[in-house]
Amino acid sequence: MGIKVAKFGGSSVADAIQLGKVKNIIDADPKRKYIVVSAPGKRFDGDSKITDLLYLCNTHIEHNVPCDQIYQVVVDRFKAMEMSLNVHVGLDQEFAEIRERLEAGEGADYIASRGEYLNAKLTAAYLGLDFVDAAGLVKFNEKGKFLDEETDKALSEELKKHDGAVIPGFYGTMPNGKIKTFTRGGSDITGSIVAKAVNAEIYENWTDVHGFLQADPRIVDNPEPIQHISYAELRELSYMGASVLHENAIYPVRGSNIPINIRNTNDPEHPGTMIVSQAKPEDDGRIITGIAGSKDFVVINLHKNLMSSEPGYIKRLLGILEGYGISFEHLPSGIDTASVVISKKQLKNNLGDILDEIDRKLSPDNVEVSHDIALVATVGTGMANRYGTAARLFTALAEARVNIRMIDQGSSEMNIIVGVENKDFETAIRAIYNAFAKDNRK
Ligand code: ADP
Ligand code: ASP
Ligand code: MG
C-alpha cells in the first residue's frame, strides 16, 4: 500500500474543533500514515498565532520585561485543547521545562519551536499515533544550513520503525543539539522532507483555502483555484509572495517526483491543487497560471556613459552588494544603465554606505534611488511562445492608471515581473487578474 504524508497548517490545527476535522481526514484514508503539524494558528480574524506569541515572549525576556501574561495565553490555549480532546500529555511538566529554558535564555528558535512540539504531542495522542520528535532527525549544520542528505537518512531510518506517526514541523537541531527553525511557514518544508523520507506517493498540504488560487484571496475576490501547476511555476509564485506554500517546500519532493496536493481542511471533498513536475496548461486552457507579488523593494538606478564597454562594471556593482551580504532580486539593464532591485528588509540601514561605495568605486554619472516599490509577477508556462500576452498585461495596467517603474521578463518566458509603486500594488494585481481571468475559466 502506498503512503501519503499529510501536513496540516496553523488554521487546520487551531483548536479541538479543527483537530476533529483532521481526525476525519486521517480516518478516511489508511494511506495517511505520517502527519506533520504546525503550531495552532488563528481561530478567527484578530486571534493570535501561537508562534507569534512565543516569539513575543522571547523578545520580552531578551529585554528583561516579564512575559507572564503572554505565556499564560499560550498555556491556556494548549490546556483547553488537551481538555477538549480528552488526552493527557503532561502539559504541566512540559510548560515548567519550557519556562525554565526560556528564562535561561535558550533563544528564539527554541521557544518558537515549542508550538509545533506541543501540538504534535497533542495530535499524536488524539489520533493514537506515535509522536516522533523532529529534534535529532531534521538536521542543520553549525551555521544553521539545512542538511538534506543527513536528514533524509536519519528520518527514513526512524520512520521505518513506526507504522504511523505525528512529527512536529518547522524545526530540527544543529550538531550541538540546539534547536534551529526554518524561516516562517517552514512546516511546509518539514512536510516535504518527511514525504521524501518515506517515499510517499503524494504530499498533501492541508490548509484553509481551496488550493493554490490564481491570486491572493485577500486582494482579489474569489480568485479561481489552479487545478494543476508545475513545480517551477509554483516556485516562482511562492518566491514572489504567494504565501500558501513555503518557497523552499518544493525541493525535497521535486527530486523524487512526489506530487504536492494543496487541500482545504474545511472542505475535504474539494480536489484542491496538484503540483507536479509538468503541468499541462493546454488541459486547463490557460495563458497565465497565477499572479503574486510583494511590497517594499528599493531600486538603485545607475547611469554611466559607455558603461556597456567597461568590462566588469556590473560585477563590481554586485561585489559591493555582496560585501553587505545582500542578494539582489532583479537586475534589469540597458546600454548605459543598470538597476538593482533589493528588498528593503535586506538593505537594513546600509543604503547610505552602499551609495557612497558605488560613488567611489564605480564613478557613475548619475544615481537615482526609487523607494517603496512593489514587484508583481505574472507567471505561467502558457505564456511562452504566445504573442500578445505582454501587450494585454501592459494595457490592463495602463487602463488601471498604474505607472510601471520596471519590467523584467525571465528568459523562460514563464514570467513577466513589473515594478510598481507600493500604493498601486493591489490595483495592479486586480487589473492583471481581470485581464486574464475570463480566458482562464473553462
Ligand atoms: P497554513 O497555516 O495552512 O500553512 P498559510 O496561512 O501559510 O496556511 O497559507 C494559506 C493562506 O495563504 C491563505 O489563507 C491565503 O490568505 C494566503 N494566500 C496568499 N496567496 C495565495 C494564493 N495565491 N492562493 C491561495 N492562498 C493564498
Ligand atoms: N508555526 C510556524 C509559523 O507560524 C511554522 C508554520 O506554521 O509553518 O511560521
Ligand atoms: Mg503556511
CA 170, CA 193: separation in Å to the nearest integer? 11
Closest ligand 1 atom number to CA of residue 188: 4
CA 156, CA 367: separation in Å to the nearest integer? 53
- Each residue of 99-150: pLDDT tens digit? 999 988 899 999 999 999 999 999 999 999 999 999 999 999 999 999 999 9
Q: Which domains does the chain have, with CATH numbers?
A: 4-208 (3.40.1160.10), 290-440 (3.30.2130.10)
Q: Decide the pairing of beta strands 273-276 and 366-379.
A: unpaired
* Ligand 1 centroid – CA 207 distance (Å): 7
pLDDT for residue 442: 44
User: pTM here?
Assistant: 0.91
- Return averaged pLDDT per consecutive 10 residues of the chain, 442 residues in all: 96 98 98 98 96 96 92 97 97 96 92 98 98 98 97 98 98 97 98 98 97 95 92 89 91 94 97 88 75 95 87 91 90 86 91 95 93 94 83 95 88 86 98 83 47
229 within 8 A of 212, measured Cβ to Cβ:
yes
- Each residue of 297-328: pLDDT tens digit? 999 999 999 887 888 889 999 999 999 999 88
Q: How far from 238 is each of 117, 177, 288, 382, 383, CA to CA, in Å?
A: 26, 31, 15, 18, 18
In short, whether 212's Cβ falls inside 6 Å of ligand 1 is yes
Q: How many CA atoms lie within 13 A of 305 on its CB side?
A: 1
pLDDT for residue 385: 74
Residue type, 217: P
In short, whether 209's Cβ falls inside 6 Å of ligand 1 is yes
* Ligand 3 centroid – CA 7 distance (Å): 10
In short, whether 185's Cβ falls inside 6 Å of ligand 2 is yes
* Ligand 1 centroid – CA 206 distance (Å): 11
